[in-house]
A = this chain, B = another copy of it.
Amino acid sequence: MTEDERSPILCHMANNDQVLDCTFAALADPTRRAIVARLCQGEAPVGELARPFSIGLPTLLKHIRVLEDGGLVTTRKAGRVRTCTLVPDVLRCADAWLRAHIDVWESRLDRLEAHLHQLKKKDLR
């Protein structure tokens, strides 16, 4: 049995901006999101990942390569079977970016609301 373990390129990326560029670009496609969704339930061989899609295996392999290059997925080959595994840290990194910025927006709205409330109270006196 030969093993061809591919490490994610995450560790080679110069900074967080590059990680986010690759992660968001990888997620900007419904087939790739469906692959990520399936891998959240556990690792899967490429043959199983191909089943729900009406696309050829070469196209599917291209999508898997984009996910691998984005650091979202690792693959290993045992004999003739290539198995894909999710790297959840990259999803968490993208989620942290979104959450942090949504929080900034929501804090601003809360402050505006509090300010309006104060103005209203002064107006009623």
A residues apposed to B, CB below 8 Å: 17, 20-25, 27-30, 33, 36-37, 40-42, 86, 88, 91-92, 94-95, 97-99, 101-102, 104-106, 108
Contacts and interface: CB of A to CB of B under 8 A. Distances in A.
Please report whether the interface of chain A is mostly helix, strand, loop or mixed according to DSSP.
Answer: helix
A27 to B, nearest CB: 4
Contacts of A95: 95, 98-99, 102
Contact of A21 (B29, B36, B104, B105): B29
26 contacts: A17-B30, A20-B27, A20-B28, A21-B29, A21-B30, A22-B28, A24-B25, A24-B27, A33-B97, A37-B101, A40-B102, A40-B104, A40-B105, A40-B108, A41-B104, A41-B108, A42-B108, A86-B105, A88-B102, A88-B105, A88-B106, A91-B98, A91-B101, A95-B95, A95-B99, A95-B102
